[in-house]
Amino acid sequence: MLNGWVLAVVFITVLVSLCNPRGVSDIAFSSSNPPSFSSPFDFSETLHLFSFLSTLQYDFYRQSCPHAEKIVSSSMALIHSRRQDVSASLLRLFFHDCFIQGCDASILLDPTTGDDTYSSEKQAIPNLTLKGFVEIDQIKEELERVCPRVVSCADILSLATRDAVVLAGGPFYPVFTGRRDSTRAYFEEAMAELPRPDDNINRTLYLFAARGLDERDMVSLLGAHNIGKIGCQFILNRLYNFSGTSLPDPSIDPEFLNLMRFKCQEKEHNNTHVSHDQVSPASSPTPEASVETLRRSTLGMSYFQELSPSLSLEGGFDTHYYKSLLSGRGLLYADQQLMADENTGRLVKGYASDDGSTFRMDFARAMVKLSVLDVLTGSEGEIRERCGF
């Protein structure tokens, strides 16, 4: 009986968290031809999320490790106080994990020493610049001291990311727990199915739709580019060799092109750039030194700083990303492509014209959806003692 009441309360919480009290349709879409995507509150979508409550639960560890979520949150507060860019790092790490075969911590698995037939997701080109592994390992070690082999790495990553979002000034959203960890990595899928910085709008829409994420989810999740810095290695082709032409992207405003080239100079190209089309097979992995060079590179640009160059602080969860796209100052080609589609362009305009609350509401809703993608539960997978293997 108690469990039924818990489920009912959580269901109501989800309903409230997914509703939009501001009436975003009136704010963002005044056109007489509204976009074809679902409204901010979709009852069938909420029922789909609710179906996960038979396996995922709110406060899943309340009996087996009652202080688990408190340990994660206190650890994240300490980590964030020392390294504020950890929020952007964990958001990207979490996205890359969930986007490939679901939120199963497969991204955390290390390459197998001496096994030339196995490649980890860490070795996939889109993942070479990921950060946040050390911080997840630190939290896992703390939990293992209190509750050995109880809390999964997948849940740790999900909870730590939510806390990182809040610490960066973003919205709180509920995280249901009870995930289990994958026993294998998905190198080939990571190579083929992660969105690329040079993707056009059609490919980006396809990749998100294949995971049940609609246009509103996609545009709000890409708003995570509000925080952190986009590395020059993701921008250089657009500045110097767009589509293999040895010329810049012709759609970039000349003044903005000069600014971007000043921040990301071509001489750095050979030191930090890795083409997405380069495949790193298990038999010939990317040299560890090259990977470390990529991960440690501090070259890059921030949407917040480019919109407000006089400010030195990192941007938070605001609307500057969308305002940048409206003015044609998207850093990534894939970002600017949001303006190439009528529906996604209308969403960008709606978010840019709002005070930020609509974006925050939609981002929280999309993160809940993302966090329950293809999770392993029950007897599936395993609970790792260490997240790397």
pLDDT of residue 237: 94
195 has binding-site annotation: yes
Among the listed residues 21, 43, 166, 157, the one whose alpha carbon sits nearest the alpha carbon of residue 98: 157
104 has binding-site annotation: yes
Active site residues: 96
277 has binding-site annotation: yes
Using DSSP bridges, classify how beta strands 300-301 and 230-231 pair: parallel, antiparallel or unpaired: antiparallel
Question: Any idea how long the chain is?
Answer: 389
- Alpha carbons 294 and 302: distance in angstroms, whole number: 17
Among the listed residues 274, 345, 356, the one whose alpha carbon sits nearest the alpha carbon of residue 317: 356
225 has binding-site annotation: yes
Rounded to two decimals, the pTM is 0.81
Domains and CATH numbers, the chain: 201-368 (1.10.420.10)
pLDDT of residue 31: 34
pLDDT of residue 118: 76
Distance of CA 63 to the CA centre of its chain: 30
- Alpha carbons 270 and 125: distance in angstroms, whole number: 16
Stretches where the chain sits below pLDDT 70 are 1-54, 113-117, 268-315
Say how many C-beta atoms besides its own lie within 10 A of residue 43's C-beta: 10
- Alpha carbons 21 and 42: distance in angstroms, whole number: 14
Quick check: 293 and 269 in contact, CB under 8 A? no
Strand partners, 57: 177
pLDDT of residue 115: 61
pLDDT of residue 280: 33
121 has binding-site annotation: yes
The phi and psi torsions of 212 (rounded to 5 degrees) equal: 75, 20
**Which residues, 6 or more positions from 362, have their beta carbon under 8 angstroms from its beta carbon?**
20, 24, 40, 216, 217, 219, 220, 351
pLDDT of residue 55: 79
pLDDT of residue 50: 55
